Amino acid sequence: MKKAIVIGSANIDILINVDKLPVKGSTILADKMSYTSGGKGANQAIAIGKMAGKCEFLACLGNDYFADKILESLKESKVNTSNIKYATDCPSGLAMVCLDSNGDNLIIVNSNANKLLDIAYLNEKTDLIEDCQIIVLQNEIDEEIIKYILLTYGDKKEIVFNAAPCPNYLNDLYLSKITYLLVNENEAKELASLDSDDYYQNASILLRRGVKNLIITLGSKGSMFFSNHKSFLIRPYQVEAIDTVGAGDTFIGAFVVGLLNESNHFQALDFASCAAALTCLKSGASKAIPTLSEVEIFKEKYNEKNNN
- Of 13, 64, 243, 249, catalytic: 249
CB 237 within 8 A of CB 271: no
Checking phi first, is residue 103 left (phi over 0); if not, alpha (psi -120 to 50) or beta? left
Query: Catalytic annotation on 243?
Result: no
CA separation (Å) from 53 to 13, 207, 253?
A: 24, 29, 9
d(CA 196, CA 163): 19
Nearest to 282 by CA among 265, 296, 272, 294: 294
Provide the Cα torsion 276, 198, 203, 45; round to 10°.
-20
Catalytic sites, residue numbers: 249
